[in-house]
Structure 1
Amino acid sequence: MDKPNIIKLVNGQKGNLIKITELNLEGVMRRRLLDLGFVTGALVEVIRKSPLGDPIAFRVSQTTIALRREESSKIEGELISNGE
């Protein structure tokens, strides 16, 4: 059985499809991201990275959301597709 490829959202490349496994956020930011669809099991697509890598645009639940490196580094998921 293959071990799942777990990565942080911040390390995703354009076109990657990531299934969220863990949110390591607390307080208002955690609540806001949960409300936006960043829940365990949700599929997130990396849409675009800024030239300096901050912020990064993600698509979740048919909505495009830009997150700063600080937030996206605290969300982990299983790499489902690398965009190929």
Structure 2
Amino acid sequence: MRTLNECKPKETITVVRLHGSGALKRRIMDMGITKGVEIHVRKVAPLGDPMELNVRGYELSLRKGDAEMIEVA
């Protein structure tokens, strides 16, 4: 499986699983990123950090380190 940080701009993917634990996993879930949700990758910064995403109808910027914990299909 691949992770969110490997996705390219203008790609729409579905979350399969969240890795990690504790407060970090909870923070990602509080942002609306949960199993089964669709994410549209709008832009990726030149060095890959951060990523601009469209999740559940709102814009979200996510760091590369956090995106590595999100397994997608």
TM-score if structure 1 supplies the norm length? 0.81
Structure 1 portions without partners, runs of 5+ = 1-5, 79-84
1:15 and 2:10 correspond: yes
1:47 and 2:47 correspond: no
Aligned residues: 73
Aligned to 1:81: none
Aligned to 2:71: 76
4+ runs of 1 displaced by more than 2 Å? none
Residue 42 of structure 2 aligns with an amino acid whose one-letter code is I
**Structure-2 separation of matches of 1:60 and 1:29:** 18
Give the alignment of 1:28-43 within 5 angstroms.
28-43=23-38
1:7 Cα deviation (Å)? 2.1
1:75 Cα deviation (Å)? 0.5
Residue 33 of structure 2 aligns with an amino acid whose one-letter code is F
TM-score if structure 2 supplies the norm length? 0.92
For residues 4-49 of structure 1, the C-alpha deviation after alignment (integer angstroms, 9 at most, x for no partner) is xx42100100111110001002111211111221000000010110
Structure 2 portions without partners, runs of 5+ = none
Percent of residue pairs identical: 27
Q: Which has the higher Rg, Structure 1 or Structure 2?
A: 1
